[in-house]
Structure 1
């Protein structure tokens, strides 16, 4: 579960768990999360909500911080920017009425599948494996996944690879070839083609545009 508390808001909580639980706190400069079109209100507080994209990015940020690597500052900065964007997107969505989703994956199924995909971005994860994680047949899983995410599972994996590639392209110390190999592409040309299809940019042009 996720909780977001904007700067200046009072917040108290306590936990009584029946088993071991882990809690991570991430603090951000309020300026980094400012929405120009939100006026004085800014982002809205949200308590115990689920959002796969926010969860993915926050998990990667946590792992990057805990790694203790001294040369990953550009990666951390890029992750913070993506997380700020995802929180803004989630805030916009919560202001709109959300239709009831029937036939999609349950919250725990979305989490376990998303986490597995994130941990295996350099591999082509088969649908059978994802269906097993969700404890569903392949047919039921494919239908439920598309209902939950709006796109097929394979396309979701490709998009997540490209989002990861965008973050890595922000670190100019990492070559495009190394990024391609880390994502499971045997040739840089194959990666470049997939990246351009997903974003409209070549990796080189995208990196050149980054400030």
Structure 2
């Protein structure tokens, strides 16, 4: 991808189409790279220079992308999902970024900057990297089950933002990035709780604070506690979505999480993890069952993950705990 061709590519960034000063060849190339049809993930070209890792939850997907070569590349995205971009390392010798509704930017260093692309908006650009870019993308379904109904999230007309910084939103993004990188060991409910926080942060920075509902001062009602606790016991080995528990209590995921912690003293994901370990303790008393079999029975994928979780909550390994029962 010759650098000399870049002025022509800038012309391809026109928001009304890809026609570039009558250059039909360049227009056709851009259309093949960035089609107008919605894409679920950010398109990077050439794709072989990007190392990508993703994880998905209810109405939410996160993806880490690391550029592996100092090669000029292009990117584009347009979909019915919101896109939040957190750039941990982003320096370029040359390049341009465009979010529909905003002026183009040729900022050279946007390390530790955030970008928000509302659903349906065009996002594209190109760059000749000075440093190997490391970025995290968050794809948020405006109608997803994690969005608090009190926010009327799907009704908000979000404003596009390019290369900004907000401390609280940045910290939430970093936590979610860690979840993506450790998706096999992080509890699903924790990831979903962070997703809920992210939607609230997006509403806050958008300026729609009037849509917030006052926080509930109490915990769950007795019938809610009983129903949720029974469900967790019955499905202790399963991966229980936060939205499922919230539906049982007839609350939004956001308010359910807050009320649950007031009632049980723990967030939902930690309570579930604790109940798993308590079930494992009961099974460890049965000598005929191996530690591996018990790990699988209480919902862990392997013995190593089970041992780590057991030690984190009890301070000892399953084998040591079993020996103490003698």
- CA displacement at 1:138 relative to structure 2: 0.4
In 2, the alpha carbon distance for the partners of 1:168 and 1:112 equals 24
Aligned residue pairs, count: 111
Shift of 1:137: 0.3
1:171, 1:179 → 2: CA distance?
10
Q: Deviations over 1:109-149 (max 9, x none)?
A: 00000000000111121110000000000011000000001
Shift of 1:184: 1.4
Q: Which has the higher contact order (CA 8 A, sep 6+)?
A: 1
* Correspondence for 2:285: 170
Misfit runs of 4+, over 6 Å = none
Which structure would you say has the larger Rg? 2
Please provide the CA RMSD for this pair.
1.3
Identify which of 271, 274, 290 aligns with 1:156. Answer: 271
| Secondary structure of 1:208 counterpart | helix
The aligned residue for residue 127 of structure 1 is 242
Alignment partners' CA distance in 2, 1:189 and 1:114? 27
Aligned with 2:298 (options 180, 183, 188): 183
**Deviation for aligned residue 1:175:** 0.9
In structure 1, the partner of 2:261 is: 146
Give yes or no for the alignment of 1:112 onto 2:209: no
SS in 2 for 1:147: helix
The structure richer in helix per residue is 1
Greater share of residues in strand:
2
Unpaired segments ≥5 residues, structure 1? 1-101
Find the aligned partners of 1:180 and 1:191 in 2 and give their Cα distance.
6
TM-score w.r.t. the length of structure 2 is 0.33
Cα distance per residue 1:135-172 (max 9 Å; x no partner): 00001100000000111000000000011111110111
Secondary structure of 1:105's match? coil
Question: Paired residue for 1:81?
Answer: none
Aligned mates of 2:269, 2:237 — CA distance in 1: 13
Q: Distance in 1 between matches of 2:280 and 2:292?
A: 11
Unmatched 5+ stretches in structure 2: 1-216
Is 1:203 aligned to 2:308, yes or no? Answer: no
Give the superposition deviation at 1:201: 0.7
CA distance, structure 2, for counterparts of residue 186 and residue 127 of structure 1: 20
Q: 1:12-61 CA distances to partner (integer Å, 9 max, x unpaired)?
A: xxxxxxxxxxxxxxxxxxxxxxxxxxxxxxxxxxxxxxxxxxxxxxxxxx
Distance 2:278 2:259 in 1: 23
Deviation at residue 179 of structure 1 after TM alignment: 0.6
| Cα distance in 2 between the residues matched to 1:138 and 1:204 | 37
Aligned mates of 1:158, 1:205 — CA distance in 2: 20
